[in-house]
Amino acid sequence: MLVYWDRLFSTFLFVPSLAVASQQPIHQGFLMQAGKPAPHVSVQLTIDGKTYHTRKDSSGKYIFYGPTTAVRKGLLSVSGQNFQLPLAPTGPAALEIQ
């Protein structure tokens, strides 16, 4: 299930993941804090001026879905820290946050 937040109306939109079969993961990874998974933290990914939002699961894993494009890098923001990262088709990133 994909969950989106509408900032204009302050509402959620829930979309079954089967509805995004045409979209591929554009970036995914694991966040660690002090050597342990960092669960349930908000994560933002900015690509060409557009920001996508998600939250990590209990294992610290996150995934951003979207149309595959020629964009090769994005800016990941977590807890005030920024990481310049390569996008799909790379494997999951493993990041240590403070």
Average pLDDT in the 6-22 region?
A: 74
On average, the pLDDT of the chain sits at 78
Q: List strand residue ranges (DSSP E) for the chain, in order.
A: 2-6, 11-15, 24-33, 36-37, 42-47, 50-55, 61-66, 73-78, 81-86, 93-97
Enumerate the domain spans of the chain.
22-97
What residues have CB less than 8 Å from 17, skipping those under 6 apart?
Answer: 1, 2
Top CATH class of 22-97 equals: mainly beta
Q: What integer pLDDT is reported at residue 36 of this predicted model?
A: 85
The 10s digit of each residue's pLDDT in 21-59 is: 556 778 888 888 888 888 778 889 888 888 888 887 888
- The answer to whether the bond into 89 is cis (omega within 30° of 0) is yes
